[in-house]
Amino acid sequence: MTDNIVEDALGRVLAYLRLSGVSVDTDTTRAALRLVDDTLEAGEEGLLERLMAAVPERFGLDQPAPPMLAPPVHHGSIHYPRRP
């Protein structure tokens, strides 16, 4: 059972890193394994919560600012002709 939880936890960490734009190479995988190992030391209870909360800080995931959705508004008016 523990094996499945750990395997699932490691898989989640690696997927999270990949989706965050981190290249999942050997070093990253080792770091992820160490994180899982460190987190397991406090027991299996609440493993996923503690693990996923630690991921951004441990791997320095800084999210870039999103592109500008729209430029600054320069209000103009639409003129309406007399109602036909």
Tell me which residues touch another protein (CB under 8 A). Answer: 8, 11-12, 14-16, 18-21, 48-49, 52-53, 61, 63, 65-71, 73-84
Q: 33-47 burial, b if ≥16 CB within 10 A, otherwise e? A: eebbeebbeeeeeeb
State which residue, 19 or 27, has the beta carbon closest to another protein. Answer: 19
- Is 52:11 a contact under the CB 8 Å cutoff? no
DSSP state of 67: P
CB of 34 to another protein, least distance (A): 19
State which residue, 20 or 38, has the beta carbon closest to another protein. Answer: 20
State which residue, 25 or 83, has the beta carbon closest to another protein. Answer: 83
